[in-house]
Structure 1
Amino acid sequence: MGKILNKSLCTFMVFGAAAAAGTAQAQSSVTIYGVVDAGIVAVNKQKTSSGGTGSVFALSSGGVSPSIFGFKGSEDLGGGLKANFDLEGHFFSNSGAGNQWGGLFGRQANVGLSNSYGTVTLGKQYSPAVLAFAATDPRGLKETFSGLISWALTQNPLNAGTAIAPANSNAVIDVFVANAISLSTKIADVNLSGSYSLGEVAGNNSANSVIALGATYTGPVTLSAAYQSDRGQPAGLIGGSGIQTRKYSVGAAYSIGDATLTANYLNNKNSDPASGSSLAQYRVYGAGLNYRTSPSNTATLAYYYSTNKIGVSDTSRTWILSDDYALSKRTTLYALVSGVNAGNGYTSGAAFGVANDNAFLASAGKTTTAVQLGIKHSF
């Protein structure tokens, strides 16, 4: 522990010394990047305006990846020190609509410094916890029909038929954290990262704050651990009386030739910040097999089991069979078939649905199936 602390102190000392010396004479670069992902999805047993259920056939945005655009860059400040920035926005490829997750750059808007010891970043960014969780999710946290749905929707589940106000304005679907200060470093084969989002509530500095921690080990096996805590906002504020959310996960992945086995566990607990009473506690178990049938093709079989015993009893069992075929390094065709057997609760933990649109989700008390075909192009 002493070595780690000394290393972190050295990092901040180097950052401070370089800034004071004003040694900014070196090369800088800016990269424009993005993804356009669109597909056709057919899902049965979806709610209709008349209150029943029916099938829906739609063009959806983001089957494998979200459709995004961004600008990122760095400047070499000398002595191994770099300045970095990242601006990233989100849009729907099916309609062209944008400004999701908080505006033009609703995914990322940050600046920071890095050297061989690590990186310090200020601004809106990906939660270190969700990045660690992604390392061992059976579907790699793809944008549809994956652990991403469970991670996001358990942040603010329905309880006793009543929608609960957003828990925390800094934690956007528990994937992006705003007003955040983060530190990341690598020690041997272990990546460690953590962030703290300032609550910015007068008189109560802990309210509306977010703590996110992530750790991954990459060696003969891949191991991951994640923790995130969203503090609720006091009554009287916009979004006040929102729930407090705590989630943690652990997982592992192991490769044998062209096959990779994955397993992870997510525990998400929601409580009332005023009384401290539990509102829901989702436990989601995931397992999967990824198999490279050729250098350009990967097939995936994944299974998720979700349960909640507090408030509204809720269970779901989701299976996904998918195939990704790379036409090139930047263009991928994908196909998917999925089914979910949902209990009579609100199925917030089900890994079934289209994350971009927050639509075509599991229907309580139904066995729902989906078929999806699409294309993803990166630039």
Structure 2
Amino acid sequence: MNNKKVTSAKKGMVSSLKTLSAMVMLSTAATTASADILIGEAGGTQLSMFGILDVGILYQDKVSTDGDEKLGMETSGLRQTVIGFKGLRPLDNGWNAFFNLEAHFDLDTGMFHGTGDATTDADDSSGRLLFRRQANLGLSGDWGTVIMGRQYGPALLAHLGTEPRIFKEQFSNLYAWAYSQLFTTFNSSASEAGRNANNDVGIFFKNAVQYRNTVGGLDFGILYSFGGQEGSQKDGDVIALGAAYTTGALTLSGSYQNMKDQQTSEDVVESWAVGAGYKIGDVTLKANFMNTENNDSLGNEVLDLDALGLGVDYQWSAKNTATVAYYINEDKAPAEEAETKSLVISNEYTMGPSTVLYTALAYVDSDDNMSAVSQYATSIVATPAPVGEKTTLINVGINFAF
């Protein structure tokens, strides 16, 4: 995969992570959407809306190997900017019917954000999907919840309590997760990367049905995305599993995802992750490890990523939480293994209900033998730091949720 293709695809997924809709998401304080705003009720059906607005300033001392620096406005530093709508209707049998519609846009430009969906030369769908994050309908009851349509996969959701920075939109392993599972979205031939059109950066899946439930301290989800190809049920399908178990101060998480090529049924992405978090008073310790393997449509290895994140949260006052996180991300596929090490120091100040002022500093040390695939897959930054450089980035912004 060449640099041009990776850069083009990156534009369509740079904001690949958002907080998850309230029904399937763990609470992350004021950085997530707060309680939904009821906008109408008719015939027993409740309609509500929610949203996150996030914008800031990003400084980077080196944006290329020439050493050029850059200062600019950056949308979505803590969380993505989204607006969403929900509907809830009680049914006669004690169940509920519901829908979720969630759009993602960039606050610096006002434009809809692109996607990581598969593209072809004839139909470039990487542009502006209206409901990129969610467009689904479901049923829920004492037995659990079933969701059908475009939706968040259960794997990433499982690790919100154990990823050192809760998969923040900047400076977290959100990007190692997303970029390492993005490469199935390119148009492919037998000599190029495999393809799975149902995968959007390993986070969003279309043509999908998911079952979710919480039993005791165990919250879990199982998702299947239909390949939809003639002659084979396996061509292009996706299986995703995720679970988080919380007991007292301890949280454990685990996940697995498998995506098959839509022509050959080869495993083009196989990813698994485990994590743990432990709270001691005002301090929370976190560790999360992920392995992702990418193959082309013939089964040849493209990427073998190990991504480790370690972090400490410290709520040092009623309104301030500081985080120190360290990431070691390594692509083992090249003959000479390629590694990026990153240190992040941040603070979040809660100015009022669901309003956060944040500042974060990242120091990124990237090996000089990086291929384009390795550079993106090992990154904790939306636009990866230049290879062979030690780069400092500072992001200051405001997050407003409703």
How does the TM-score come out when normalised to structure 2? Answer: 0.80
What SS does structure 2 have at the residue aligned with 1:152? helix
Q: CA deviation at 1:202?
A: 1.2
Q: Aligned residue for 2:350?
A: 326
Q: Give the match for residue 340 of structure 2.
A: 316
Q: 2:63 aligns with which of 46, 62, 65?
A: 46
Q: Which of 353, 358, 361 lines up with 1:337 in the alignment? A: 361
Report the Cα distance in structure 1 between the residues aligned to 2:266 and 2:388, rounded to whole angstroms.
Answer: 27
- RMSD (Å), alpha carbons: 2.2
Give 1:73's match in structure 2, choosing from 77, 87, 92: 87
- AA of the residue aligned to 2:359: A
Could you list the per-position Cα deviations for residues 188-235 of structure 1 after superposition, in whole angstroms to 9, with x for gaps in the alignment? 110121111111111222122111100100112000001111112327
Distance, in Å, in 2 between the alignment partners of 1:284 and 1:157 is 17
Ranges in structure 1 where 5+ consecutive residues have no aligned partner:
1-24, 236-240
> Alignment partner of 1:45: what SS?
coil
Whether the aligned pair in 2 keeps the contact of 1:304 and 1:350 (CA below 8 Å) is no
Flag structure 2 segments of 5+ consecutive residues without an equivalent.
1-41, 116-127
Counterpart of 1:85? 99
After superposition, what is the alpha-carbon deviation per residue over 1:216-273, rounded to whole angstroms, capped at 9, x for unaligned? 00112000001111112327xxxxx997011100000000000000001000011233
Cα distance change, pair 95–70 in 1 and its aligned pair in 2 (3 A):
same
CA-CA distance at 1:168 after TM superposition: 1.6
Q: Aligned partners of 1:175, 1:85: CA distance in 2, in Å? A: 19
Name the aligned partner's letter for residue 54 of structure 2: D
SS in 1 for 2:305: strand
Q: Which amino acid aligns with 2:274?
A: V
Q: Counterpart of 1:268 in structure 2: which amino acid?
A: T
Q: Does 1:307 align with 2:324?
A: no
Give the partner amino acid of 2:363: G
Distance in structure 2 (CA, Å) of the matches to 1:35 and 1:337 = 22
- Structure 2 Cα separation of the partners of residues 198 and 251 of structure 1: 28
What CA distance in whole angstroms lies between the structure 1 residues aligned with 2:385 and 2:267?
A: 23
Distance 1:303 1:119 in 2: 36
3-state DSSP of counterpart to 2:63: strand
Is residue 120 from structure 1 mapped to residue 146 from structure 2 by the alignment?
Answer: yes
Aligned-pair distance for 1:166?
6.7
> In structure 2, how many angstroms separate the alpha carbons of the residues matched to 1:94 and 1:272?
36
Of 259, 263, 280, which aligns to 1:234?
Answer: 263
- CA displacement at 1:165 relative to structure 2: 4.7
What letter is aligned with 2:146?
V
Q: Contact 2:193 / 2:295 at 8 angstroms: preserved in 1?
A: no
Aligned counterparts of 2:284 and 2:339: Cα–Cα separation in 1? 27
Partner residue, 2:273: 249
Q: 1:268 to 1:321 in 2, by over 3 A?
A: same
Which whole-Å CA distance do the structure 1 matches of 2:211 and 2:80 have between them? 25
Q: Look at both structures and tell me which one has the larger radius of gyration over its CA atoms.
A: 1
The answer to whether the Cα contact below 8 Å between 1:318 and 1:350 also exists between their aligned partners in 2 is no
Match of 2:35 in 1: none
Percent identity between matched residues is 34
Distance in structure 2 (CA, Å) of the matches to 1:112 and 1:214: 19
How does 1:281-300 map onto structure 2 within 5 Å? 281-300=304-323
